[in-house]
Structure 1
Amino acid sequence: MKPFMDEYFLLHTEIAQKLYHEHAAKMPIFDYHCHINPKDIAEDRMFKSITEIWLAGDHYKWRGMRTNGVDERFCTGDASDWEKFEKWAETVPQTLRNPLYHWTHLELKKFFGINEVLSPKNARQIFDACNEKLNTAEYSCRNIIRMANVHTICTTDDPIDNLQYHQQIKASGFEVAVLPAWRPDKAMMVDDPAFFNNYINQLATVADMTITTFADLMTALHRRHQYFHENGCRLSDHGLDTAFAEDYTAKEIRAIFTTVRSGSKLTNEEILKFKSCMLYEFGVMDHSRGWTQQLHIGALRNNNTRLFNQSGPDIGFDSIGDKPIAEPLSRLLNKLDMEDKLCKTVLYNLNPADNELYATMIGNFQDGSIPGKMQWGSGWWFLDQKDGMEKQINTLSNMGLLSRFVGMLTDSRSFLSYTRHEYFRRTLCNILGNDVENGEIPNDMELLGQMVENISFNNAKNYFNF
């Protein structure tokens, strides 16, 4: 019997152990997609408790707690930090075989040196031990980032954001690059005219202009896109339930915008045409400035209307969608490619049934201009666990070039989630080690070690080229 989560955790062969400890573990982290707040980094925030840094904003944990019968008050409500932590400690033993169990103990071990298994029996002891460390300067936000050996962080930012915190971080001389990523989803949300128009009014204010026509909208977005570029942004991100690639004319789009700007509701056909136009135009913008676009596709969001109305979005009431994706995604990419406006692209699927679809789709648009121009992103959201990562790695190996993969990201709102890179790297090394053990790939440590280092860090650094 192997010990729980020792230095050989997930590494089942000597080759895997050597690959991880001599090659993967030392590589810095290039976290090219996350949801952390740049304000925390700019102000070098100190966290008053483990609850504040670990449970606040973590919809993965909240979802587990609710499933364990924990009242919402202890997830997103007004319970004290200790009460929330206590309920999490009661939940942890019930998360066996869920990635939450591994993540929890990796984070306690990595950042706090705690090797005990969290349970109600030791909850107070661990709570106090973590808080004692968090109340020292060594555990400021920036020092936690340093502990994790992070090289680059890309946040998720709306076009109307002023990026003041990114500017402050850069001016402070912080050695870790903290860069914005353009997330213009709200500029497509014509499903709700009131919401859309309120957003467009905010966009008009920050772009210092009036927006009454579709041409005005595009001018405002181009101004903001340029502003982001001037502040170091080279990466966009789009959260989509499917790809949008309907046929439309410029005249139709002008008329649709006039209709929605007046506050009138659009037909479903008009909504699809408008979103198709915007997604294409965003791709053209990104290409014009040499950016990379990311498309996160397939979430079915805000399923629980009662709790959405009570607590808002992004708190654990989303799931996997199953809208058809192959044809619209192909049409979108092909349209951009036909016009020589397809920039570097990272595609993420949330439905594992689409793995082979995405792995083969990227091959359609590799043009030889750079290695791996089209990327199939790492297992996302519900798939960023051991099984999901293994399936993604194996499918990409079978249908693409694993060696050119840009690797892992946290997609997280917590500064303790950098251990997800460790989790991924251990999984990667274990797969390669098993292949060597089975005689399926050569026992060439120079070749394999370089491949592991590339997937862990070098590929992302070279691909995004910030």
Structure 2
Amino acid sequence: MKKFLDNDFLLETETAKRLYHEYAENIPIIDYHNHLSVKEIYEDKKFSSITEAWLAFDHYKWRMLRVNGVTEEYITGNKSPKEKFDKWAKTVPYTLGNPIFHWTHLELRRIFGIEEILSPKSADFIFQRCNELLKKDDFSARNLIRKSNVHVLCTTDDPKDDLAYHKALKDEFEVKVLPSYRPDKALHIEKDGFASYINDLGKIVGYKLESYSLLKNALIERLDYFCEAGCKVTDHGLDEMLYADAFESEVEEIFIKGLNGEKLSKEELRKYKGNLLNILGKEYNKRNLVMQLHIGPLRNNSTRGFEKLGPDAGYDSINDLNIAYDLSKFLDSLDKIDKLPKTILYNVNAKDNDVMSSMAGNFQDGKTPGKIQFGTGWWFNDQKDGMEKQMESLAQIGMLSRFIGMLTDSRSLLSFPRHEYFRRILCNKLGNLIESGQYPDDIGFVGEIVKDICYNNAKEYFGF
């Protein structure tokens, strides 16, 4: 029986062990998509407790707590940090089979040097030990990043953001902390708050956005502002992939209806969102920016939960919509005029893995290695089985060796060991291919592919 979380965790063969320990283990991290607080990094925050650092913003953990029968007062409510931590310690042993069990203990070991299994028996010791360490300067926000061997972080930022903290960090922190441009609220014309958002964006640029043409100008102005602050990547959270060709006069009418809070048809949404995405895609291509498309969640399913806590509180799930047709039309609208930027496609429903792998192959340009990427297992696929399935689909239908690898998509500075988790799974897969005779025993060549997927491909792809 293998020991839990030993030095060869998840590595099933001798070749996998060599690939990980010789080629992947010590490679730096490029975390090109996350939701970290730039303010906390700039202020070099020291967390008041492990509860604040670990549980305050993690909706993955919140879901587990609710499933385990923990009431909201111990999750997002006003119970003390120790009381909340104790509920988490009681829940963790029941998460067997869930990646959270692995992430929890990887983080305890790699960041705090704690090898005890978290449970009610160890809760007092772990809580006290983590809190003692978090008081030390070595465990401030920036030092947590350094400790994890991170070279680049790309946060997720709204066009309205002033990026003051990004700019301030540029000259005083050796790790690149770069903004990502995410104009979701300008695209989501059908959602409550659209008109208010457009009004606020107008105040930022200094003129009222009373037409679609002016909205486009404002978004492009803000995009240039982001580029001046070092932006290399953009992002779009798309609950549904929608695209239809449209004349600008049609989109103008739809925009005005949206401002007035009128109900829009699915075809009107296709035209508005498709046209605005197309315009933004051209601008991204002009500036050599990477475009990320996160497609397919069904958000805020619990009315009760949403009304109490708002979005991103653990009440989202996988949707089962079809995505291929509109996605193809959108990508082709840019590709046929040679304006398609580097693009990363993410799906939250694993049924779409082969759709994404095959779709990426349609729009490669023959000049840029892996120009259109099938992104790493995202959200509900961000676990061992999900990562393996994503890699298998990419390897079978596309080219795994050009893959740009892992990201945390996290709000926590303790989440960087997820890169280790990914790397072990990757090395195990490639090691199994060699040991089963499906690939030659050229560990030096395959080892370089491992290094590329873990670091080099992303560095080249984003231009860091």
- Residue type of the partner of 2:449? M
**Partner secondary structure for residue 78 of structure 1:** coil
Superposition deviation, residue 257 in structure 1: 1.6
Q: Which residue of 2 aligns with 1:328?
A: 326
Residue 27 (1) aligns with residue 10 (2): no
Q: Partner letter of residue 300 of structure 1?
A: L
In structure 2, distance between residues paired with 1:267 and 1:405 = 38
Q: Which residue of 2 aligns with 1:191?
A: 190
367-376 or 257-266, which moves further after superposition? Answer: 257-266
Distance 1:268 1:325 in 2: 14
Q: Residue 58 of structure 1 aligns with which residue?
A: 58
Q: Is the 8 A contact 2:184 2:236 kept in 1?
A: yes
Match of 2:430 among 414, 432, 436: 432
CA distance in structure 2 between the aligned counterparts of 1:67 and 1:395, rounded to whole angstroms: 31
C-alpha distance in structure 2 between counterparts of 1:88 and 1:365, whole Å: 45
**1:366-413 CA distance string (max 9 Å, x none):** 111211001000000000100001111111111111110000000000
Cα distance per residue 1:127-148 (max 9 Å; x no partner): 0000000000010000000010
Corresponding residue of 2:164: 164
Aligned residue pairs, count: 464
3-state DSSP of counterpart to 1:237: strand
Contact 1:37–1:413, Cα closer than 8 Å, also in 2: yes
Please state how far the C-alpha of 1:268 moved relative to its aligned partner.
3.5
Correspondences of 1:73-84 after superposition (within 5 Å): 73-84=73-84
**1:89 aligned counterpart, secondary structure:** helix
Offset at residue 226 of structure 1 (A): 0.6
SS state of the match for residue 281, structure 1? Answer: helix
Tell me if structure 2 keeps the 8 A contact 1:151–1:176: yes
Alignment of 1:136-285 (within 5 A): 136-172=136-172, 174-192=173-191, 195-285=193-283
Residues 83-117 of structure 1 deviation map (CA, whole Å, 9 limit, x = unaligned) = 11100000001001111100000000000111111
- Matches of 1:267 and 1:463, distance apart in 2: 38
Alignment of 1:310-389 (within 5 A): 310-389=308-387
Secondary structure at the aligned position of 1:273 is classed as helix
Residue 100, structure 1, aligned to residue 100, structure 2: yes
Matches within 5 A, 1:399-410: 399-410=397-408
Give the distance between the partners of 2:16 and 2:354, measured in 1 at CA: 26
Q: TM-score under structure 1 normalisation?
A: 0.98
C-alpha deviation, 1:290, in angstroms: 1.1
- What displacement does 1:211 show? 1.2
User: Which residue in the other structure is 2:456 paired with?
Assistant: 458
Write the distance in 2 (CA, Å) between the matches of 1:161 and 1:343: 23
Say whether the 8 Å CA contact 2:242–2:269 is kept in structure 1.
no
User: Are the equivalent residues in 1 in contact too, given 2:33–2:153 (CA < 8 A)?
Assistant: yes
1:265-324 CA-partner distances (Å, limit 9, x unpaired): 333332332111112122112112110100000100000011100001001100001111
* Secondary structure of 1:375 counterpart: strand
Report the more deviating stretch, 316-325 or 207-216: 207-216
Task: Indicate if the aligned counterparts of 1:240 and 1:295 stay in contact, CA closer than 8 A.
Answer: yes
**2:90 and 2:352 mapped to 1: Cα distance?**
36
Distance in 2, matches of 1:394 and 1:189, equals 33
Residues 190, 258 of structure 2: 8 Å contact kept: no
Separation in structure 1 between the aligned mates of residue 462 and residue 243 of structure 2, nearest angstrom: 26
Which residue of 1 is the match for residue 302 of structure 2?
A: 304
What whole-Å deviation, never above 9, does each CA across 1:62-101 have from its counterpart, x for those lacking one?
A: 0000000000111111111111110000000100111110
- Which piece of structure 1 moves more, 371-380 or 242-251? 242-251
Distance (Å, rounded) in 2 between the aligned partners of 1:360 and 1:258 = 37
| Backbone CA RMSD of aligned residues | 1.0
What amino acid does structure 2 have at the position aligned with 1:190?
A: I
Do 2:156 and 2:180's aligned partners in 1 also have CA atoms closer than 8 Å?
Answer: yes
Structure 1 segment 66-145 matched on structure 2, within 5 A: 66-145=66-145
CA shift at 1:239, angstroms?
A: 0.4
The offset of 1:247, in angstroms, is 2.5
CA contact (8 A) 2:290 2:341 kept: yes
Q: Is the 8 A contact 2:144 2:413 kept in 1?
A: yes
CA distance in 2, matches of 1:90, 1:259: 51
Write the letter of the residue equivalent to 1:347. L
Contact 2:243 2:330 in 1 (8 A): yes
Q: TM-score, normalised by structure 2?
A: 0.99
* SS of corresponding position for 1:238: strand
Check whether the contact 1:241–1:323 (CA below 8 A) recurs between aligned residues: no
**1:244/1:279 contact within 8 Å kept:** no
Q: Would the aligned equivalents of 2:375 and 2:405 in 1 still touch at CA under 8 Å?
A: yes
Structure-2 residue corresponding to 1:422: 420
Distance, in Å, in 2 between the alignment partners of 1:269 and 1:352 is: 27
Aligned residue type for 2:125: Q
- 1:48 is matched with 48
Q: Structure 1 stretches (4+) deviating beyond 6 angstroms? A: none
Asked whether the equivalents of residues 300 and 311 of structure 2 are also in contact (C-alpha less than 8 Å), the reply is: yes
SS of aligned partner of 2:370: coil
Once the two structures are aligned, what percentage of the paired residues are identical?
Answer: 54
1:446 Cα deviation from its structure 2 partner: 1.1
Q: Distance in 2 between matches of 1:367 and 1:340?
A: 9
